[in-house]
């Protein structure tokens, strides 16, 4: 099993310590969880625009001098490592180590919505090689048991139950349970 080290405190750890970790583990992801939390809270309050995993952020609201200094320290870490590292750590484990894909089941294949009109309301992590039938069971066992067929929403065509899903597929599942 590969060893993944999420090196939190990359904002204060000496670079040589992170380099030494790289010698002991298969993958080292430098991270600042505190920086990520600060960015998410600031984004929620409307002070800045930021999506997890982004390489930078934009200050769009009023911040104090000390807040601006703190944000600039976080920006420096992001410039050094490409992001806060938190999303990259999750992506590395889920997609690279566990070899999963993300698939989006929808009720309306032309609008990519659920029954309430919410666009791409759900996402399921499935092992690579999963099929529409696997996705149907992941949504609900009744939907899997009543599986009739699936539609690739991007292409607007039916796909077989043995079709191998790819990362980011949007799929309408027709079932006797729906």
Kindly list the structural domains of the chain, giving each domain's residue range(s) and its CATH number in brackets, ordered by start.
4-94 (3.40.50.300), 100-175 (3.10.20.30)
If you average pLDDT over residues 35-43, what whole number do you get?
96
**pLDDT by residue (tens digit) across 59-83?**
999 999 999 999 999 999 999 999 9
Backbone angles phi, psi at 68, to 5 degrees: -60, -40
Task: Report the 10 Å Cβ neighbour count for 150.
Answer: 25
Name the burial class of residue 45, with classes exposed (0-12), middle (13-18) and buried (19+) by CB atoms within 10 angstroms of its CB: exposed
Portion of the chain with pLDDT greater than 90, in percent:
76
Q: Is the Cβ–Cβ distance between 154 and 169 less than 8 Å?
A: yes
If you average pLDDT over residues 115-130, what whole number do you get?
92
If you average pLDDT over residues 169-175, what whole number do you get?
96
The yes-or-no verdict on residue 21 having pLDDT over 90 is no
Task: Report the 10 Å Cβ neighbour count for 156.
Answer: 10
Q: Say what the pLDDT of residue 164 is.
A: 98
Q: Say what the pLDDT of residue 1 is.
A: 72
């Amino acid at each position: 099993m590969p060893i993944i080290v999420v090196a939190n405190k990359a904002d204060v750890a000496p670079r040589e310590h992170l380099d030494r970790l790289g010698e002991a583990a298969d993958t080292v992801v430098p991270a600042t969880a505190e920086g990520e939390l600060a960015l998410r809270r600031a984004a929620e309050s409307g002070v800045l625009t930021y999506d997890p995993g982004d390489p930078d952020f934009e200050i769009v609201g009023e911040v104090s001098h000390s807040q601006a200094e703190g944000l600039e320290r976080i920006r420096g870490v992001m410039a050094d490592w490409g992001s806060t590292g938190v999303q990259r750590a999750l992506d590395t484990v889920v997609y690279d180590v566990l070899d999963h894909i993300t698939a989006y089941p929808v009720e309306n294949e032309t609008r990519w919505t659920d029954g309430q009109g919410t666009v791409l309301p759900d996402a399921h992590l499935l092992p690579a090689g999963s099929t529409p039938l696997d996705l149907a069971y992941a949504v609900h066992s009744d939907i899997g048991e009543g599986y009739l067929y699936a539609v690739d929403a991007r292409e607007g065509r039916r796909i077989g139950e043995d079709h191998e899903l790819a990362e980011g597929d949007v799929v309408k599942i027709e079932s006797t349970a729906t």
